[in-house]
Structure 1
């Protein structure tokens, strides 16, 4: 199979890119690993409530006759020049393209602390996804901790599903949040959204110390200002912001700067005819992802005037992204959460003490199997970067577990 334009990811950036490029008449394919378009922010499911914007974009995508959407599919490996190996629920296949737009989004930064592997402890975004997928939480007591706007969004999702949110522990200081709130007036819609999500249990200068329990979570210990408090609960959702998903971009050879795929004014990568948009180029929210996706879509099919017209809008939302980064910068004291016996690599049961004196990722891997499990360093690699300053491991194919039948698609024809 071959297409003119391939888009990886059907979140806000991918949707906007496809719809911007579609009027050109180009043959377009969109690959996404979720069951339906929308990405993590507009994730569908039995308990999901999609906003009108998401439904409108999804309907427009379905009506675009020259756009094929392959949901429940993911990239496994490179299959040659401008060709990718893909796998869906039923089959594996290769797909060639002339131009490509990466809209691979971001994932949560999970930092290790005592008890973080107990049943009942998830990421903040992870809990949102589980609830939208049908996880029953009605009547459960929930504590949400970490950093960033995702904490408030996660709390709202849990509350709407019948859970009782006892505390939202934000590690950023009151002064940092006050500065962010003052700057938020430049984006009235975001200010209104923040007011709607504000929760009486929200606390600044507060972070998790430990999850407590034997067989599963029973309570959480928090540092709250100068006090240590313990709160009995059934679930703890803890996330410390987002990390751009750059693995495919790196594998293709796109330049990465400051942990994100580097792009120019046209959202073009360092690799010719390859573009990137959304949170894989840096976290800034759905509004920034939408305008970046539209710029990339227009530029990929040669509509540079339409792309350029969106530059002021992009700059407006880049300002919001910069305010987010300043307001929710992680406090270095979070590096002290892990104890010697705290697991850092949960796939291979590697404790903090086994890693603390290693010089870099390679040495840690040689001595401990750190990063050699199912997630291939996606979780512990980011944690190692924050805790020890290590450069995360370079991606290697396959990017995700794949069936033997899929890998056989790489065999030369004949």
Structure 2
């Protein structure tokens, strides 16, 4: 089965919703593909304990009201099925989507770095903790430690406290001088200054990072290095995240140019591949404000509304400046490269340890000597870790781009009905 779209958007987070709504007045056939049950992405993730902001509710309502926008939730991109066509799968079927133009709004994922004990039950990502809480996992009364880097630590702590958890420590690896410089610049973005004041927590410590998660069958305590001193804190849960990585797998597979760790775009949010655009955190982390603006620019550009796109450039520049400041202030300390021991797992899917791949020259060499990156996540977790640990380039994605049923993959061998 095939479906045809004038404009196909991958991702229904802030950037994807903004892109669809910007393009909707054209009357074109617009499809929005997202692997979550409801639109909103990770930042506006729904759940039994989620509290969606008003802006998220407005975007969701506008998306539902647009007659020429079709939303495909709980739908995954499995593979590239041919020129300007993707193989998609949901829980019931697989089909090909043909498109004239494509906007990638594939977002970002947490950077998780390996350290002794990081695979113990009770250890999650900082964003993962938020997702669990929104999904209804009870944490009331639990003693938590949150560690890593970036504003997500404070947001995760706030979610945990609202759910009744006791946050014992927020360990931020950035030094005090970097945080002070960041704070002095926040008045340029009043909403971010207010947000920082609201999220401030007395348990926050700079120049602090996790050394090990301790326990036998599950987490029992966390060992931290805090201002040069060793600290051990008994706790039931550790949430640890070292920033975000752009999701570039689909862009790479399509042939879009990658700059650094993100999909490269021009002033119109256009990729190096003709009729392909990208917006939001797959082009670099900047928060929901920047994602919304970039998504709208991409949507306007895709339908030829250049004047409307250009009118948004000053807003993009304003929020890009915030993103740049954020990146400089929370740059990871090279000492974090030394967290893993020889027997620490780097690839959790295939149980590959740090010692097995530390001497490898890159991904190909690592795969020749182990199964690193060959598990269910297709290198999404260990790929980011090895980029930081060994400076390996981003692994080249191979189909399937997400776990898929055999009958879905068989469609790749079938002739294109539209051909």
TM range (shorter): over 0.9
Q: Under a length normalisation based on structure 1, what TM-score does the superposition of the two structures give? A: 0.99
- Are residue 229 (structure 1) and residue 231 (structure 2) matched? yes
Aligned Cα root-mean-square deviation (Å): 0.8
Q: Give the whole-Å Cα distance in 1 for the aligned partners of 2:172 and 2:256.
A: 34
Counting only pairs closer than 5 Å after superposition, residues 8-407 of structure 1 correspond to structure 2 as 8-407=10-409
Deviation at 1:355, TM superposition (A): 1.2
Name the SS for the 2:388 alignment partner: helix
User: What secondary structure, in the 3-state scheme, does the structure 2 residue paired with 1:79 have?
Assistant: strand
Structure 1 stretches lacking a partner, 5+ long: none
- Matched residues in 2 for 1:122 and 1:289: separation? 26
Counterpart-to-counterpart distance in 2, 1:359 and 1:268:
33
**Distance across 2 between alignment mates of 1:379 and 1:70:** 26
SS class of match (2:78): strand
How far residue 408 of structure 1 moved from its aligned partner, in angstroms, is 2.4
User: What does residue 410 of structure 2 align with?
Assistant: 408
CA shift digits 1:76-107 (9 cap, x unpaired): 00111100000011111111000000000000
SS in 2 for 1:386: helix
Once residues 213 and 320 of structure 1 are traced to their aligned partners in structure 2, the CA distance between those partners, rounded to angstroms, is 39
State the shift of 1:354 in Å. 1.0
In 2: Cα distance, 1:405 partner to 1:226 partner: 55
CA–CA separation in structure 2 for the residues paired with 1:375 and 1:214: 26
Separation of aligned partners in 2, 1:361 and 1:74: 25
* Count of residue pairs the alignment pairs up: 414
Residues 280 and 294, structure 2, Cα contact 8 Å, conserved in 1: yes
For 2:370 and 2:7, the matched residues in 1 are separated by 42
Structure 2 gaps of 5+ residues are none
For 2:145 and 2:401, locate their aligned partners in 1 and report how far apart those are by CA, in whole Å: 33
Q: Displacement of 1:331 after TM fit?
A: 0.2
Partners of 1:83 and 1:352 lie apart in 2 by 38
Task: Report the Cα offset of residue 413 of structure 1.
Answer: 5.5
Runs of at least 4 residues of structure 1 off by over 6 A?
A: none
Q: Secondary structure at the match of 2:401?
A: coil
Q: TM-score, normalised by structure 2?
A: 0.98
Q: C-alpha separation between the residues in 1 aligned to 2:373 and 2:102?
A: 29
